[in-house]
Amino acid sequence: MTRVTRSLLLAALAFGRAPVSLASCDIPETFAPVSEPQLPDPWTFYNGEPVKTKEDWACRQEEMSKILQQFQLGDLPPPPQSVQASLEGNTVTMTVTTKTNSATARFTIRNTPRAAGSSGGPAVVAVGSYPTIPVPDGLGIIGFDNDACAAQTSAQAYGKGWFYDLHGSDHPAGSLMAWAWCAGRVIDALQQLGPEKTGIDTKRLAVTGCSRNGKGALAVGAFEKRFALTVPVEGGTGGAGSWRISDFLSANGSVIQTARQLVTENTWMSPRFQKYVNNVTTIPADQHFLPALIAPRGLFVIESNIEWLGPDSTTIAMKAGREIYAALGVKSNMGFYLEPSGEHNHCQFPANAGVALGAFYGRFLQPTVDIEVSNSTLELGDWTGDWSPAPKLG
Ligand code: MCU
């Protein structure tokens, strides 16, 4: 065991308090496989100690992050040395430089937020370039070309994309983790350009994506903490769906994506994951750890009844996620929606979830609405006469 000293800042940010002192997290450097048929307990450290305080929880979140990295997603590299961004038309070009390499990447500001004010307005980052959820007029839209960051064309496509140009084609990150890192560079670039140029306030960003990109959006929200809201759509197993429950359902005859199928199909997980896919109960994590890392930030998971996506698996894993939010006192910061009235086409937004999605946008991207927009040239004072100044009410 190494002693990793961490600032209480994380815990303090999560609970909206000022940092008070330094805490020490006892986090093993590596974790051994376990034998756990149920969803692993988020409230017990790997060494068996219970999580008792908010400071413990910040340490446990760090531990869960490390477990997910070691067993399934691969390592999240530290931020690069620099990101140099420029904007031409609606295309941002960035040069990302690490200690050893440099790469150029682009993303698109498809819509600029309207009526944004000097600090800019909120925007939705679409993993896969175009959002599949409705984005109300006035919200910005950023197209993030995740495939250029890390390819997902087949299980043979590991190591291709600008993430690997920077970190080496044998880097252990699978494409989901690579996307989380690259999405962080998109935010770096937006911060560097500033709201005057982009119209975007990087404190009010959401991330979304559907299907394989829904697996991506969930991982991006979990590992890039600057997203205020995460809206993963229909990622199925490996997204909101649990490894354990999907294996159980498959063993009972369901035609459902499992860990062992998933690794034959694509690059989403780290190559390290392969040794666990026939024995997922040995992984000291499951997919409810992703909401555990996102909490208390906004999270609205949309899933579907399509059998391959495992509606029972996604529902139970995300109910577990909501239990975690509940224990933190913020249950409604996480929502789950699986259209109860049956199937809809894959990645087609279920209209009945529209009001809830609007509420999540409102709460996490636009918590204060102070709006007064008109093209009238009449003067208020001509019509209020002697009302002003307004009285001070006792
Ligand atoms: C849920 O997303 C995936 C699924 O995991 C894959 O098995 C399937 O091949 O493709 C889905 C998808 O991304 O559809 C667009």
Residue of the CA atom closest to atom 5 of ligand 1: 212
Is 26 exposed, middle or buried (CB count within 10 Å of its CB: 0-12, 13-18, 19+)?
middle
CA of 169 to the centre of ligand 1 (A): 24
d(CA 195, CA 80): 22
Domain contains 320: yes
Domain contains 59: yes
Domain contains 182: no
Specify whether the CB–CB gap between 195 and 119 falls below 8 A: yes
Positions of E strands within 339-387: none
Q: What is the pTM assigned to this prediction?
A: 0.92
Give the position, in ligand 1's atom list, of the atom nearest the Cα of 237: 5
Give the position, in ligand 1's atom list, of the atom nearest the Cα of 309: 1
Catalytically active residues, by annotation: 211, 346
CA of 90 to the centre of ligand 1 (A): 30
In the prediction, which pLDDT does 118 show?
87
Q: Which amino acid would we find at residue 154?
A: S
Q: How many domains does the chain have?
A: 1
Residue of the CA atom closest to atom 1 of ligand 1: 211
Domain contains 52: yes
C-beta of 236 in contact with ligand 1 (< 6 A): yes
Domain contains 220: no
Q: pLDDT (tens digit, 9 = 90+) per residue, 321-332?
A: 999 999 999 999
Domain contains 308: yes
In the prediction, which pLDDT does 7 show?
37
C-beta of 211 in contact with ligand 1 (< 6 A): yes
**Which of 129, 308, 348 has most ligand 1 atoms within 8 Å of its beta carbon, as the pocket-test mutant?**
308
Domain contains 221: no
Give the position, in ligand 1's atom list, of the atom nearest the Cα of 235: 1
Helix (H, G, I), strand (E, B) or coil at 328: coil
Domain contains 153: no
Question: What is the strand order of the sheet 91-97 is part of?
Answer: 82-88, 91-97, 102-111, 140-144, 121-127, 200-210, 229-233, 298-303, 334-338
C-beta of 309 in contact with ligand 1 (< 6 A): yes
CA of 211 to the centre of ligand 1 (A): 5
Domain holding 37, by residue range, is 6-73+234-387
C-beta of 257 in contact with ligand 1 (< 6 A): yes
CA of 155 to the centre of ligand 1 (A): 13
CA of 265 to the centre of ligand 1 (A): 9
Nearest Cα neighbor of 287 from 264, 314, 249, 261 is: 314
C-beta of 232 in contact with ligand 1 (< 6 A): no
Give the position, in ligand 1's atom list, of the atom nearest the Cα of 261: 7
Q: Which residues of the chain have pLDDT under 50?
A: 1-22
In the prediction, which pLDDT does 23 show?
52
CA of 289 to the centre of ligand 1 (A): 21
Domain containing residue 37: CATH number: 3.40.50.1820
36-72 burial by CB neighbour count: b if 16+ within 10 A, else e? beebbebeebbeeeebeeebbbbbbbbbbbbbbbbbb
